[in-house]
Structure formats: C-alpha cells, structure tokens
Amino acid sequence: MKKFIFFDSKSKRGFRFWMTRMGLAISLVLVAYAVFFSVESAYLVSEKMTGRIWSVPSRVYASSRVLFPGLRYSKEDLIGELEWVGYVQSREAVPGFGEWKKDGPYLLIGIRSFSTSSQDLEARKVRIEFSGNHIERIWQRDGDQWKIVHTLSLEPELIGEIFRDEREQRTLIRLDEAPKTLKEAIILMEDRGFYDHWGVSLRGIGRALLANFQGRGIRQGGSTLTQQLMKNFFLTHERTLQRKAREAIMAIVAEILFTKDQIFEAYLNEIYLGQQGPVGIHGFGEAARFYFSKELKQLSLGEQAMLVGLISSPGRYSPYRSLESATERRNLVLSVLYKGEKIQEKDFEIAKREALHPRGKIRILRKAPHFIAYLQKELEKRYEKDFLESSGFQILTTLDMEFQRAAEASVEEVLPKLDERSKKRVTGERKLEVALISVDPHSGAVKAYVGGRDFSNSQFDRVHRAQRQPGSSIKPIVAAIAMSNETRLGEPVAHPATVLSDQPAEFSYSGRDWSPKNYGDVYTGQITLRGALEKSQNVAFVNLASQIGLKELQKGFYHFGFQDVPEFPSIALGAFGVTPFELARVYTAFPNGGLQTECYAISGVLSEKKERKEQTSMAVRKVTSAQIAYVVTQLMKGVVERGTARKIQGMLKGQDFAGKTGTSDDYRDSWFVGYSANLLTVVWLGYDDDTPMGLTGASGALEVWANFYQRILERLPREAFAEPKGVEWRKIDPEKGCLKRGLFGFEEVFIQGTEVPPCR
Amino acid sequence: MSIKSFLPVFLFFGFFVSTGCVKRVVTEPAPEFSFEDARVERSNPRYVASLNLVEDALKEMKLQRLGRAASQLSQAIEIDPSNPYAYFYLAEVRKRSKRYQESIELYRRAEDRFAANSQWSAECFAEIGDVYRLQNQNLEAEEAYRDALELNPRNHRAIEGLAGLPANP
C-alpha cells in the first residue's frame, strides 16, 4: 500500500510540489472569483446600460403665456416674466437662446425650444415692439428676414419637480448634440487615450501613481472615463484599492459590451457637475441649463470649457462659489484645447477674454407647493409613483404664474391683518387658514391655486379637501334654481323682482321647528329677490326655498354638480359641506352662459421623448340657460355695487364684477366668490379646527379677493358680461317689484316674456 | 285628336319633372374658415390672436390630431371667449370624439356668437341636426335642420339632412 506523505520536511521536492499545488489552488480560486465577478459585472453593466439608465424626475411647468399685438404688457413686464423662466440679459449685439436684449422700442429674445400640450416649438429669435404698455408688433426671424406673426408663445416657467429620494436632476442629451469642442476638451482633460484603451489605462495609472508618490498621498486618480462612469453608476467614492479593482474590471466589461460612443454618451449624461440645494446636477445638458440657462449646443467655447473644468471638483470650481477660480480653471481647459491643436489661436484668445456670466441661481425649486402636491396625487392615480419620479415626464399645467404670485402675495399681506382682527374674538395663538382658487370660467383652466397659508407648516390642501359650509355664497345657485323651476301655473318660481317675505318666521320640517335669522337681526318685511341677494337676507331665501320645495331644491343642487346635499331646509343657506374647488366649478356656469366647465389643472403630460401621454382641454356641461346665468350674474353685480361686497366697488374701477359673500354659522367660515367676464376666484378663510373666527365673508375672504384682483387688474381684459339673446331690461319699483311706467325706476333684467305686475 | 298625338308632350313633361327642372333648389356648400376673412369682421387684437390659434387648430384637425386641436381651441376661447369659430371647431372635435352632448352645447354657443352671420349660424344648426341624427334623435334633428333652413334656405347640410331622415321620425 502506498503511504501517503502529507509533508516531508526532509524532501525539498515535496515542499516545492505542495507549494506549487497551493499556488495553483489559490490561482484557481482567484480566477474563479474573477470569472464570477466579471460575469456579475457583465450582468450589472449590461442591465444598467441597456435598460433605463437614469432616473430623470418629472418636471412641472406653468402655462405658456401667449403674446399678441394689442396685449397690455409692458417691456418690463415681459423681462420680469423671462427672468422667472431663467432667461438672462444678453451682452452681445444679438441675444443668444435663453437671452433677451433691449433695443430702443424693441425687445429681442432668443426663445429656446419647448413643448406645449399642442405644439413642439423650435428655438427661435423674436423681436417685440412696444408702444407704451402695449405690445405693438411681433416679428419672428425667418432666415435673413423678420416676419410678422400674430401670436407668440413664451417658454413656460418650471414650477416644480417630482423626484425620487436620490434627487438627481438631469437633462438627457445624445452624443451628437454635444459640441465637438466640448467632447474634445473632456477627452483631453480627463482621458486622452479614451479611444485607444480597453477601459483601463496603464499609462494613466502609472502617471497617477507617480503623482501620488511625489505628493505622498492619493492626489490623482488616473481613472479613465469608463472607470469614472462605472464608479458613478455602481461604486462608492472611497479611495481604496479594492474599489479601484472592481472599478477596473467593470470598466473592461463595459468596454467589451458597449461601443466607445455609447460609453461616452452615458458619461456626458451621468457625470456630477454641481449642486442646487438638495438636488444634484448631473450631466452636461443639465449643467448648461443650470449654469447658463442655455441648451448645450448654444454654449460658447468659454462656457463649454468652464463646464469641463468642473468635472474634477464641481464645488471648488463652481462660478457661484468663486468666479475667479472658475475662470482660472476654464482658461486651463482652453489652453489644453489650444495646445492640443483643437482650437485656433484666435478662438482661444476670444474665449479666454470672455467674462463668465452664470445666470442667477433659481431661487426656489418648488413654487405653488400645494398645487404641485395636488398634481402629484392626481398623477399617481394614473401612473406608478416610481415611474412618475424617474421617467422624465413633462407635466404641463394651466397655472398662470403671474396670477399665482399675486395670489400668494395677497395671502401673505392680508392674513396677518385678519389674524389681528380675529384675535379679538378668539383665545390662544391661532393662525387663520386660507384657500384660493382662480379659474378661467370659459375653459375651466385653473390659473391660481393656494391650498393653505404655509406649505411647510401644513400640507393639507384646503382647495380640494376642506369640506366647509358655504353659507350665503350658495344663494345665487338657489336663485338660479328658483328661476329654472316652475310653479303649478307654469311660471318660473322667481324672477329678480319677485317679492319675498322677510320677517322673523318659524319653519317646520320633519316635526322640527327652525327659526332662521338675518345678519344683525335686521328684517325688511318684504324684499325683492334682487334685494334679498344683495343684502343676503336669510329669511327671504328660506321663503324662496320653500316655494321651490325642498326636494326640488336638493335636486337642483345636484344638477348644478354638488356632491353631498342633505335634505334639510337649511341647505338654502348653505348648511352643507363643499370644497372651494367644487364651488368654483359650480359658479363657472354664471359667467359662461349656463355652461359649467370642468376645472382642470393639467393640460398635458409629455414623455421624455415628447410623446403626448395625455392632453386635457375644456369640457362643458349645460346646467342652466344662458338667460338665467346672465340674470343671476346681474343680481350678483348688484352685490358688488350696492350689497354686502360694495366696499370693493371703489377699488376695482373700470371693470364689471359680480360676486357673493358667504358666512357660515357662528362665523366659522368666510367666503367670497367673485368674477369678471374672464376670471372667477373663490376665497375661503377659517380655522382648520372649525373654531369661530369672528369674520364675515365681507370682512375676511373679500379682503383677500380684492387684494388679489387689485394686483392683476391690469391683466384682465376690460369686458362686460356678454348679454345673451332672450333677455330684456325693464323699469321697476325696486321696493315693490312692480313695473313702472315712464322714465324713472330701477333698470331690472328679465328673461323675455316674464310676467311682472304693473305698479298701481 | 287621338291621345297618341299628345305623347311627345307627355314625354317631354315627364323628362322635365324627372330631371328636377320644375323647381331645383340650389344648395350652398358649408362655409369655410378663412383667417383673413374672419379678421375683416372684427379687428380686436384678442380676436385676431384667437383666430390665429383656430387656424393652427384646423391644421391639427386635418392631421387627425384631435387632442392637439382641442388644446389650441380651448386656448383660443380663453383668449377671446366671443370667438365663434373657436366654439364651432371645438364642437366639431367633440363630435368626432363622440362627445355628442358637449358638441351640441358648443355648436349652440357658436351659433349664439355668430349672431349676425346667418350663413354660419345656419351651419351651426345643421351641425346640431347631424349630431342629433348620429344619436338617432330624429325629431330633434329635424327641428335643428329646419332652424338652419330658416336662416339659410340653401344650407346644403340641412337639406341633405332633412332628406335623409326617415319619413315619420
């Protein structure tokens, strides 16, 4: 039997034999590990680079403003708007894209390409001529000539982004979209042998080792572009040999699986180039927007060089941190380009002399926060959350940022004053809350949206979610229902001159008694429907409701689009919950000739490739006749001219307004719904916990509404409410509600054919 | 005189009647939108800007891109709610999208806005008639066609529409 000798110390051959075997075994393990790691890397790299490589947040935009000759819009207004979008003043004779320049009566603008819900608009140069506060003419550059155009859409303002947790911002570009000089500069600065090596450059490593040895520490990486990309994709930023080894293997695998161009394109989109608050700026497309407010292809040579200079240390060379360091670094990149014979001496000199003008940093990333949160919730009903946060959607909204800023400023200015007034009646430290929604009544497009006073304090969206009692702001709908419904004789239950009883009374319903009261316990005895609405007399409206019939009234409310209406007589005084959004939608029927418009905030959703995932436009539903809508509007005009909202009459000269105040029981809710021919706004005020605040609709919500309209008055077209066919004006006695003969009397509007008794 | 001698006269009369020469109604084709013509009606800047968007929307409609057309027409209405063409073509978009009730309301709104333009007003009623007919609401369709013919007795769509209705709707 052969004797097994494990280790014979006396035999030199035996020792060598076993050492060789052990070495082989270790090598095999290492090779196996390398194979396993290479296969794993191949899988990871392949999955990363062939699938969806980046998480691109969805961006939310305000509406695109349409300019046209004759529009009241001054040069300064437009410059202000452009600056919000991120455009900068040009220092050249002809502004580049993303720039503007004053030129006598003209404003020259280089408009960048963008998309609306209906169009993809190319970048273009325009010239706008102003005359005083009006736009006189608009030209668009067409080849060598200026061509007059009738309308001009402006690039919309970015108002928010929907991020994943890692909060990376990027604008994806294709390799062919990157300027040649930018690509050359990157290669010269970061990896000269990029097109020759297999992912790892021994020469680069040697150079780095030497530099690190001389500097006694790790100072230079020696990583190729492919290694940098792999590090950014998969690895940490720690400087260890193990990490470097993994990085190298992954780089080799990437080079085997993908072409140089694919790797370079990925690098251009992945590389970290700066920070905006909590959000990382990744890739050159995004960096061009972030630092210069331009598209990558529009950057000057100097600007390209500055961006390339950021790669090694975006913090240190950021122009926002030090213009001097950024310029020095840029010049280094330019000299490398020049020495590498990639640019001419003349271009080198010009670019070196070019002063760096980074645009001002965008102040806030999240504007209209309640609005964005509302959109996010809506969109999450249709798209998966993760998809929404990472697929680079463009969410196009209807929000008018000028109106939105005005609304926010009004809330900020008025609410502290109202807090003071309310404090006299409320104990403890409390702050009033607010909801404001402004819509175009003809299209239903939401123009301004304030869901609360301070988003950082409370994310509760009162526009959509606060179910509050509308109080008297419901009365115009009661009036409209009364005009639509008929008595047994086939006549409408009411018209503006219908006389209603207005004295203390007790009403019974289901065995219960109820005694509604007027504000301030003031009763007129008898009052016309117009008078009752203008003065907001409760008892007269309860009497009107009893003439309609409770069932019919409830049916009428449902027909107008309210969701949950109980069967109590007090619904005539708004004793049921509605949201400000709901009330806005219901009211659109009045300025819109009886057609109710569905209020919408998202006009379109575009994919990253600009495919239209959805498009929303106006939707209408007839809820009452054009004649009734007009008559009710005229009654509400009286509220503003003579009634409970008369204090705004002096403030808003030159415009037709109609509206209605609302106050719920014990002053828990303060409402005002008011509109011009083209803009309807609902304001609600109150405490979230329903504590009485001591403010009426007129002393609370109306103040916010009036402040808001004063700010935007210039923007509203001066138009009267459109009178439909089938109405007539007649002279009446406003106290008795009878027809008067002769020249004197109150001009009242009626639906044609309405029987009104003559005065005796 | 035998009856045979009247044969040529009968034949001639028969031919005359059969070819409709006794009373032939000359119909008019549907009016077509023209930016230049429409802006002559009113020169208000908002109206002109709004017309411009209608013109763009018509191009989208020809390409069957109804969503884009509807967006542009909504915007045209926002800029000038008195622009009848914007309502008219939005009604057509809604008709094509089978949103019939909305289409009818929008045609009615357009008709109200056309006011003095009887040719277009008649077209609105004729369109309303068509939309009712698509829903087999023949009584309503007949009424709408008759309204159209009252405004424009030569309206082709209304004449065709009426002729196409069943005898006892």
pLDDT per position as a tens digit, A95-131: 988 899 999 889 999 999 999 999 999 999 999 999 9
Q: How far apart are CA A98 and CA A95, in angstroms?
A: 8
- The answer to whether the Cβ–Cβ distance between B78 and A151 falls below 8 Å is no
Q: Is the pLDDT of residue B22 over 50?
A: no
What residues are paired with A130 via a beta bridge?
A: A135
Q: Which of B48, B49, B99 sits opposite A66 (nearest CB)?
A: B49
**pLDDT exceeds cutoff 90 at A238:** no
Class of residue A131 by CB neighbours under 10 A (exposed 0-12, middle 13-18, buried 19+): exposed
Do the Cβ atoms of A569 and A590 come closer than 8 Å? no
What does residue A391 show for φ and ψ, rounded to 5 degrees? -100, 5
User: Hey, are the CB atoms on A68 and B73 less than 8 Å from each other?
Assistant: no
The minimum CA-CA distance between A615 and chain B, rounded to whole Å, is 6
Strands A106-111 and A114-115: unpaired
Bridge-based pairing of strands A507-509 and A168-170 is unpaired
How far, in Å, are A36, A75, A603, B133, B143 from residue B96 at the CA level? 60, 42, 20, 14, 22
Instruction: Assess contact for B134 and B128: CB atoms under 8 A.
Output: no
Instruction: Identify the pLDDT of residue B25.
Output: 56
Give A-chain residues touching B78 at CB under 8 angstroms. Answer: 440, 442-443, 445
Phi, psi of A734 (to 5 degrees): -70, -20
- Please tell me the predicted confidence (pLDDT) of residue B21: 46
Residue with tokens 């572009």: A225
ipTM of predicted assembly, 2 dp: 0.84
Measured CA to CA, the distance from residue A256 to residue A38 in angstroms comes to: 11
Tens of pLDDT along A152-170? 999 999 998 888 766 777 8
Q: Do A70 and B46 touch (CB under 8 A)?
A: yes
Interchain CB contact of B138 with A (< 8 Å):
no
Question: How far is the alpha carbon of B12 from chain A, nearest alpha carbon, in Å?
Answer: 52
Per-residue pLDDT reduced to its tens digit, B117-142: 899 999 999 999 999 999 999 999 99
Candidates B48, B68, B71, B111: best to mutate against A (most CBs of A within 10 A) is B71
How are beta strands A58-61 and A394-397 bridged, if at all? parallel
**Cβ(B105)–Cβ(A622) under 8 Å?**
yes
C-alpha A92/C-alpha A43 separation (Å) is 50
Per-residue pLDDT of A514-535, as tens digits, reads: 899 999 999 999 999 999 999 9
Give the lowest-confidence range in A231-240, A315-324, A413-422, A574-583.
A231-240
Asked if pLDDT for residue A407 goes beyond 70, the answer is yes
Closest Cα to residue A624, out of A472, A495, A485?
Answer: A485
- Give the mean model confidence (pLDDT) for residues A349-366: 73
Give B134 to chain A, closest Cα distance, Å: 19
Tell me the pLDDT band of A336, cut-offs 50, 70 and 90.
very high
- Is A404 or A321 the better-scoring residue by pLDDT? A404
List chain B residues with CB under 8 Å of A621. Answer: 101-102, 105
Chain A interface, mutation test: which of B35, B36, B74, B109, most A Cβ atoms within 10 Å?
B74
Considering only residues 96 to 125 of chain B, which have any Cβ-Cβ distance to chain A shorter than 8 Å?
99, 101-102, 105-106, 109, 112, 115
The structure's pTM equals 0.83
- Which one of A397, A443, A600 makes the best mutation probe of the B interface by having the most chain B beta carbons within 10 Å? A443
Residues in chain A whose Cβ is within 8 Å of chain B: 66, 68-71, 116-119, 150-151, 440, 442-443, 445, 592-593, 595, 603-604, 612, 615-622, 626, 677-678, 717, 722, 724-725
**Strand extents, DSSP E, A232-294:** 272-276, 279-282
**Chain B residue with minimal CA distance to A617?**
B71
State the alpha helices, DSSP H only, in chain B.
7-18, 35-41, 45-62, 66-79, 84-96, 100-114, 118-134, 138-151, 156-164
- Looking at the annotation, which residues of A are catalytic? 190, 472
How confident is residue A47, by pLDDT bands cut at 50, 70 and 90?
Answer: confident
Nearest to A726 by CA among A594, A568, A561, A567: A594
CA–CA distance, A718 with A712 (Å, rounded to integer):
12
Tell which wins on pLDDT, A163 or A494. Answer: A494
* C-alpha–C-alpha distance, residues A127 and A148, integer Å: 9
Taking phi over 0 as left and psi of -120 to 50 as alpha, with beta for the rest, A747 belongs to beta
Q: Which of A619, A622, A722 comes nearest B82 by C-beta? A: A722
Yes or no, beta carbons of A620 and B102 under 8 Å apart: yes
CA distance B28 to chain A (A): 27
pLDDT given at position A244: 75
Residue type (1 letter), A585: R
Q: Which residues of A touch B71 (CB under 8 A)?
A: 116-118, 603-604, 615-617
Per CB-CB distance under 8 Å, the chain A contacts of B53 are 66, 151
Q: To 5 degrees, how large is the angle CA A744–CA A750–CA A756?
A: 70
Kindly compute the dihedral angle of the four CA atoms of residues B68, B71, B73, B74, in this order, to the nearest 10 degrees: 170
Instruction: Find how far residue A665's CA is from the centre of its chain.
Output: 35
Residue A436 near residue A708, CB atoms below 8 Å: yes
Name residue A40's amino acid.
E
- B133 touches A at CB < 8 Å: no
pLDDT band at A3 (very low <50, low <70, confident <90, very high): low
**Subunit contact A617:B49, Cβ cutoff 8 A:** no
Question: H or E element: which one contains A232?
Answer: helix A225-234
B53/A678 Cβ within 8 A: no
pLDDT at residue A20 greater than cutoff 60: yes
Q: Which residues of B touch A717 (CB under 8 A)?
A: 46
How many beta carbons lie within 10 A of that of residue A654, not counting itself? 7
Residue A14, pLDDT above cutoff 80: no
Q: Say how many CA atoms lie within 13 Å of A636 toward its Cβ.
A: 33
Q: What is the pLDDT of residue A86?
A: 87
**% chain A with pLDDT above 70:** 93
Is residue B132 within 8 A of residue B151, CB to CB? The reply is no
Chain-centre distance of CA B134, in angstroms?
Answer: 15
Please list every residue in chain B whose beta carbon sits closer than 8 Å to the beta carbon of residue A136.
Answer: none
Return the residue of B nearest to A136 by Cα.
B45
Phi and psi based region of residue A525 (left: phi greater than 0; alpha: psi -120 to 50; beta: remaining): left
Nearest to B71 among A71, A617, A626 (CB): A617
Compute φ and ψ for A453, nearest 5 degrees: -75, -40
Q: Count CB pairs under 8 A between chains A and B.
A: 96
- Is there a contact between B56 and A119 if contact means CB atoms under 8 Å apart? yes
CB A628 within 8 A of CB A759: no
Contacts A71 to B, Cβ<8 Å: 45-46, 49
Kindly list the residues from chain B whose CB atom is less than 8 angstroms away from the CB atom of residue A593. Answer: 109, 112
Nearest CA in chain A to B73: A617
Supply the angle between the helices B84-96 and B66-79 in degrees, to the nearest 10.
160
Query: CB-based contact (8 Å) between B165 and chain A?
Result: no
Which segment of A278-292, A363-377, A598-612, B87-101 scores lowest on mean pLDDT?
A363-377
Query: What whole-number distance in Å separates Cα of residue B66 and Cα of residue A118?
Result: 10
Using the Cβ of B78 and the Cβ atoms of chain A, whether some distance falls under 8 Å is answered with yes
Q: What is the DSSP letter of A643?
A: S
Output the average pLDDT for chain A. 89
pLDDT at B16 over 70: no
Per-window interface: B 3-42 vs A, CB < 8 A: none
Interatomic CA distance for residues A719 and A442, integer angstroms:
14
Reported as a single tens digit per residue, the pLDDT across B152-167 is 999 999 999 999 998 7
Name the residue among B68, B69, B106 with its Cβ closest to that of A620: B106
Q: Which residues of A touch B54 (CB under 8 A)?
A: none
Chain A residues touching residue B102 (CB < 8 angstroms): 619-621
Q: Burial-class residue A534 by CB neighbours within 10 Å (0-12, 13-18, 19+).
A: buried
- Across the interface, of B49, B72, B105, the residue whose CB is closest to A68 is B49
